[in-house]
Each structure stands twice: as C-alpha cells, then as structure tokens.
Structure 1
Amino acid sequence: MTPFLAEFIGTALLLLLGNGVVANVVLNQTKGHNSGWIVITVGWAMAVFVGVFVTSDFSGAHLNPAVTIGLATAGVFPWADVPAYLLAQFLGGALGATLVWVMHRPHYEVTENPNAKMATFCTDPAIRNLSSNLFSEILGTFVLVFAVLFLAAPTFSVTSLPDAEFGLGALGAVPVAFLVLAIGLSLGGTTGYAINPARDLSPRLMHALLPIEGKRDSNWSYAWVPVVGPVVGSVLAGLLYLLLSPTP
C-alpha cells in the first residue's frame, strides 16, 4: 500500500468510525441515542486506534494535516511529501463522512434537529466566541502533535532526529488513542475538538453538498477556526520540539 493510499484509507476509517459514533449518539432511533459525551470521546479514540493501526506501517499514520505539518515543522518529515499527504487526508475525510450519511440515512430522516444532523459531519462550538474557540483548537492540537512527536521519536538523545527512524508503528496506536481520549475528555467540550482540518473541512463540505433532508446551513463563518487553529497549534508544537531536541 502506498503512503497516499494509506493516508486516504486511514482517514476514511477515522471519519467513518468517529463521525459514526456521533451519528449513533445524536440521531433519533439509533441503539445508542442519547448515550452521551463519554461514548463519543471513547468512540473517537477507538476510531484513531483503528486508523493508526491499519496504516502506520505504510505512511506513519498521520491521518491529520495538522500532524503532517507539525512533523514537517519539527524536521522529521519532508516538506516535499506534505501536499500529497494533505490531499489524501482531505479526500479520505470526505469519503468517511459520506459513508456515515449513507449508513444512517433512515435516521437522518426521522431526526428533526438540523444541528444534530450537522454534528455528525463537523464541529460547532458550545459557546460561539471565535477567539476562545480558536484558542481551544490551538491548544488541543498543540497537545496532540507535541505528544505524538515524543511518542514517535526513537530516542531523545544526541541522535540526529531527522536522520533517525521516526514513526509510531502499529503498537503506537494504543497510546495515540489514549491521547485523543484525554484531549476529548479534558479539552474537547468547548468546540468539539476538531484538532484535525480533514476531520472538519471535508465533512463540512459534504454536509453542504449531500441531499440531507431538513439540514441547516453548514456554518461556513466558523469553518476557518477548526482549520487555522489546528495548523497554528501543530506549528507551535513542532517549533517547541525543535527547541527541545538535541542538535546534531
């Protein structure tokens, strides 16, 4: 499997299972209806586990433009490969979100709340305060990328990290899943913790394009926050990692 295909499949799995658990909780007449925030955060963590486990040996299992940009900023991933990874992730996010809609179509039809329908695609803040919402996404993504950099690093010694083998490996899926669970439980309640532009922008676009009965607008005035925030957070994490890393 090529890295491009791995990122595409992995991000599609991430969105299928992650947005799938949201659909299971918020859409009417599902078996998991109203099961709550804990189910959503655990479901998203397990979605990350599956995506990382399946693709780690082929692409490093970024599955997130913020992770790709953060690793490149830290000097442990080539900038030349960033565009292809981002394209695969955004396309995979669109596919995963679409599959959630296809699977749950009867439940969209019996759900009257348009906000609930949109929640199965993209994030929306609990309290709309753009500066606060942006900070939430920056901070959550900073924690994600900074921790991933240390989880993936083969050593934190005098080794030149850009020249060392750098990757999570399949077993790295477990700590990354717990990391995402911690972020969701502790930092996710303000914005829904997108912490991943491909997790939010691609599904938001599909929400706008798909013929979903009774849907609302896709809240494009907010859409920049879960894109800009994660990018800023990832760059800050990569720069701090560079600062703390030993020089060759």
Structure 2
Amino acid sequence: MGTAIMVALGNGSVANVDLKGTKGNGSDWMLIAVGYGAGVMIPAMMIGGISGNHINPAFTIGLAVAGMFPWAEVVPYLLAQFAGAMFGQLWVVAAYKPHYDLTTDPRHILGTFSTINATSSKLNGFVNEFIGSFILFFGALGITKAPFFQNNLGTAHMALGFLVGTLVASFGGPTGPALNPARDLSPRILHALLPLKHKGSSDWGYAWVPVVAPILAAICAVLLYKSVFLRG
C-alpha cells in the first residue's frame, strides 16, 4: 500500500505537469518535487510504524546485506513493493487517461511512468541515480536512527519527505530521478503492456540503470552508515 501511494502521488504529479490539457500542464519542476516529497512522506507516516517504511526494494536489499533486515523476508517485501508500484501507476493512468490520449510526445508519456536520461547517457544516468540514491539511503538511516528523533519517529518520517523532495529538486534534472527500482520497473512494464496512443518505446535499453544503481547505492550507504555510526 505504501509503495502504491508513493507511485500514485509521485507519478501523478509528473502526469499533471507533462500531459496535455491538464490543469497543471506546463508547471515547473517544483510541483514534481513536492509531489514526490509528499508521495514518500505520507506513506512513511502511515506505515512507518508498521513495516519500517519499506517502500523501496533497494533499501530492503541494502539493509539485508548489512544484516539489519532478515533475508527470509526480502522476497515477500520485494513482491509487495513491485506489485504496489504497479497498482499505483494504474491509478495514475485511470485518472489521466483523457490526457494520455491528447499527448503526442512519447517522451512525456513515458516520463509519467519511468525515468529517462535527458542526454540519452546510461553512464550519466547511472552516476546520477547512484549519487541521489546514496544520499537518500544514508540520509534516511541518519534521520530515522538519530537520537534526536527517537522519541518522535513520526517527525523523522516527515523529514524523509523533505529529503526526497530536495533530492528531486537538486538531482532530478538528468534522469527524473527514480531512486527506487520498483518506482521505475513496474510502471515501465505497464507502459509496455498498456495500449496507450502515441506511447512510443519503453526504452528497455535504459531500464537496468534505475534498478541496479539504487541497489548498489543502498548497499554502500547502509554498510557505510553501519560502520560509522553503529559499531559496537
């Protein structure tokens, strides 16, 4: 549920900006940053105290590699995350279907599903996704495990929304960004399957970048945080 809400609110803001004829068409990048920031903050505050706010497969894998999450639960969590992302994207398509039909630019359509590198560079896309994801996961651990927030984790989960919104504003230019394999791959699969007008290519040659880069960044960020702050 958390991943579905995150994708719906985040990609919904992209659709509002990029699809033709919407009330927000042509708005600036900050609307998307706010959409994704709130898209992470709201489910974090809803489910953070229940499941640990696992709405990102990369974070789940990174915690498992560092011994901070049981491997036995990784596959069930990943299945839920990827399924949730798909449901969230279906909500976006249902809400904006007339505007998908009006939009003739395939990149604008794909951009409401998945990420695209602005210069068609896989290397730049990988670097951008790795840096943004590393800051996200290192920052998320720093916020949720900080003594300052231990008596009020709700405030910590609110801070995660500001972290994501800032990352989208600061590092969103080159790729989108994804920062989350489920947020990119599940909607990309739907893009390939749905019979949308003018949708064009799903850009499968780039699809591995927003999956692999966040996972590697999560492993590095969690291991570094554990080695620096959680020793002993």
TM-score band by shorter chain is over 0.9
Check if 1:11 corresponds to 2:14: no
Check if 1:83 corresponds to 2:67: no
Cα distance change of structure 1 residues 210 and 168 upon mapping to structure 2, 3 Å threshold: farther
Q: Deviations over 1:200-239 (max 9, x none)?
A: 0000000001111121110000000000000010011011
Residue number in structure 2 paired with 1:202: 186
- Alignment partners' CA distance in 2, 1:167 and 1:22: 35
* Contact 1:152-1:167 within 8 A present in 2 as well: no
Check if 1:118 corresponds to 2:102: no
- Alignment partners' CA distance in 2, 1:154 and 1:80: 27
> What's the secondary structure of 1:75's corresponding residue?
coil
- Post-superposition offset of 1:79: 2.1
* Contact 1:152-1:168 within 8 A present in 2 as well: no
Residue number in structure 1 paired with 2:156: 172
- Alignment partners' CA distance in 1, 2:154 and 2:48: 6
Residue number in structure 2 paired with 1:142: 134
Residue number in structure 1 paired with 2:198: 214
* Number of equivalences: 231
Q: Which runs of 5+ in 2 are unaligned?
A: none
- Post-superposition offset of 1:155: 4.4
Q: Which amino acid aligns with 2:114?
A: C
- Post-superposition offset of 1:107: 0.7
TM-score under structure 1 length normalisation: 0.88
- The one of 100, 120, 125 aligned to 1:108: 100
Residue number in structure 1 paired with 2:50: 58
- Post-superposition offset of 1:154: 5.5
> What's the secondary structure of 2:76's corresponding residue?
helix
Q: Deviations over 1:24-52 (max 9, x none)?
A: 00011111010011111111101111111
- Alignment partners' CA distance in 1, 2:47 and 2:106: 34
> What's the secondary structure of 2:207's corresponding residue?
coil
User: What does 1:41-56 align with in structure 2 at a 5 Å threshold?
Assistant: 41-56=33-48
Q: Which amino acid aligns with 1:174?
A: M
- Post-superposition offset of 1:173: 2.4
TM-score under structure 2 length normalisation: 0.94
Q: Which amino acid aligns with 1:171?
A: T
- Post-superposition offset of 1:167: 11
Q: Deviations over 1:147-178 (max 9, x none)?
A: 1111121549xxxxxxxxx9994332211011
- Post-superposition offset of 1:130: 1.4
Q: Which amino acid aligns with 1:98?
A: L
**CA RMSD of the aligned region, Å?**
1.8
Q: Which runs of 5+ in 1 are unaligned?
A: 1-8, 157-165
Check if 1:181 corresponds to 2:165: yes
Residue number in structure 1 paired with 2:222: 238
- Alignment partners' CA distance in 1, 2:151 and 2:199: 41
* Contact 2:106-2:200 within 8 A present in 1 as well: yes
Residue number in structure 1 paired with 2:23: 31
- Alignment partners' CA distance in 2, 1:168 and 1:128: 43
Residue number in structure 1 paired with 2:66: 74
Q: Deviations over 1:98-130 (max 9, x none)?
A: 110011111111111111111110000111221
